[in-house]
Structure 1
Amino acid sequence: MWDRIREKIAGLGVSARVDAGGDREKGTHNLFDAAAAYVSASAEDDQDGIEEAASWVSPEALSFGVSELACRAVIALARERDESPRKVARDLLGLPVA
């Protein structure tokens, strides 16, 4: 079931072509490419990178990709720390443990 949902959503993410200067010389970006580039650029405070990544897919697709990346990152960090995903997420946001 999840595979079918991911395939449908991934179809939404294929968008703009990239000219020379991107990670790919000529090709398309999917929502996960865009999410990874967007989050990386945000972490580096790279406004040009943020704007470029945001132009690759629709805002809805980018939002889904960023959300999926956040979930995967929290799960990976929780496993690494041997803590619950809820505790890790709250720690990352500076919130008290509920």
Structure 2
Amino acid sequence: MFDKLMSGIRRFTGQKAGEGPPPARVVRQRQPNLFEAAAAYVSACAEDDQRGIEEASGWVSPEALSFGVNELACRAVIALARERDESPRSVARSLLGLPVA
């Protein structure tokens, strides 16, 4: 019974009798998504980390990175506006050093 079970396992794994276990699979590293890339890119820009900027830029396409940075900016302005009890427009203008309209 055990021999039949082992024979079936060997057939399934492509292993021949007398061989050791199959080699371990190579685990591929997970690719960062566009929001992770945007967070890393913006953080690196804020810290003037050129190496970090270049690394994050290579994780996703330029279009995806642009979308992620835009989404991050929108969420940040909304969070600051709520925290300050101001409008997103006045917070955005204030962050850019523009006069409040």
TM-score range, shorter chain: 0.7 to 0.9
Deviation at 1:65, TM superposition (A): 0.1
Specify the alignment match of 2:66 in structure 1: 63
Using the aligned pairs only, state the percent identity.
82
Letter of the 2:83 partner, please give it. Answer: E
Partner residue in 1 for 2:55: 52
Provide Cα deviations, 1:22-78, integer angstroms capped at 9, x if missing partner: xxx921111001000000000000000000000000000000000000000000000
Q: Structure 2 counterpart of 1:29, which letter? A: P
For 2:31 and 2:65, the matched residues in 1 are separated by: 14
Aligned partner of 1:94 in structure 2 is 97
| TM-score normalised by L of structure 1 | 0.74
The structure number with the bigger radius of gyration is 2
Uncovered stretches (5+) of structure 2, i.e. residues with no partner: 1-27
* Unmatched tracts of structure 1, length 5 or more: 1-24
* Count of matched residue pairs: 74
Structure 1 residues 68-90: Cα deviation after superposition (integer angstroms, max 9, x where no partner): 00000000000000000000000
Is 1:73 the counterpart of 2:76? The answer is yes
> More relative contact order in 1 or in 2 (CA 8 Å, sep 6+)?
1
